[in-house]
């Protein structure tokens, strides 16, 4: 997996967990002398440049969901607490996703989603492949940690919509 894709996936997880994009003014605060050249370098060096609600910065070198087992499992915990299951759909909103099945096996990780639409439930049926997140160790990922990272970042992208 390319570093650029890892950064994009880490950013999706960060946004899901409540981080937000830093404003230009916030970025300038982190420059000793905020010139255009320094801001451009800052954007290149610290991508994604995000911040928590308490204005704590998140720089590229501290984005660690792809590296840390504990951090990625914290993100799994967030998903399990905040993304409802297909058993809890009574007050579904249009566009909302629900976990229909969540299966982490020995060599594979599978999450099937359903989505409430204006026309009723949209479910995985072979056509709606974006409702199925499936990673097999040795085929489309290299390790258990990578499989979980990919699955969580895919879910984060949908959660952030």
Q: Is the pLDDT of residue 13 over 80?
A: yes
What is the pLDDT at residue 21?
64
Domain definitions of the chain by residue range: 3-62, 84-160
Tokens at 32, concatenated: 């000793």
Looking at the DSSP bridge assignments, the partners of residue 133 are: 111
What is the pLDDT at residue 41?
60
What is the pLDDT at residue 48?
44
Alpha-carbon gap, residue 108 to 76, rounded angstroms: 16
Alpha-carbon gap, residue 55 to 102, rounded angstroms: 34
Alpha-carbon gap, residue 158 to 141, rounded angstroms: 20
Instruction: Please name which of 125, 117, 80 lies closest in space to residue 99, comparing C-alpha atoms.
Output: 80
| pLDDT tens, residue by residue, 112-158 | 999 999 999 998 877 777 888 989 998 888 888 889 999 999 999 98
Please state whether the predicted TM-score (pTM) of the whole model is above 0.85: no
Average pLDDT, the chain: 78
Tokens at 157, concatenated: 């992208």
Specify the 3-state DSSP secondary structure of 72: helix
62 vs 124, higher pLDDT: 124
pLDDT mean over 41-67 = 55
Burial 29-46 (b: 16+ CB within 10 A, else e): ebeeeeeeeeeeebeeeb
Q: Is the pLDDT of residue 63 over 70?
A: no
Alpha-carbon gap, residue 101 to 31, rounded angstroms: 46
- The C-alpha torsion from 44 through 46 and 50 to 54, rounded to 10°, is -140
Tokens at 51, concatenated: 């911040």
């Amino acid at each position: 997996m390319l570093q650029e894709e890892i950064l994009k996936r880490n950013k999706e997880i960060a946004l899901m967990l409540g981080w937000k994009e830093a404003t230009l003014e916030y970025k300038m605060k982190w420059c000793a002398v905020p010139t255009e050249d320094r801001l451009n370098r800052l954007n290149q060096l610290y991508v994604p440049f995000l911040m928590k609600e308490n204005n704590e910065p998140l720089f590229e070198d501290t984005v660690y969901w792809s590296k840390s087992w504990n951090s990625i499992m914290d993100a799994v915990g967030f998903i399990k607490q905040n993304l409802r299951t297909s058993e809890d759909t009574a007050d579904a909103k249009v566009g909302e996703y629900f976990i229909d099945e969540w299966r982490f096996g020995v060599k594979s990780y599978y999450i099937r989603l359903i989505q409430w639409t204006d026309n009723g439930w949209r479910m995985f049926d072979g056509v709606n492949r974006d409702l199925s997140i499936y990673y097999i160790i040795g085929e489309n990922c290299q390790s258990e940690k990578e499989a979980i990272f990919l699955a969580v970042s895919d879910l984060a992208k949908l959660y952030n919509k």
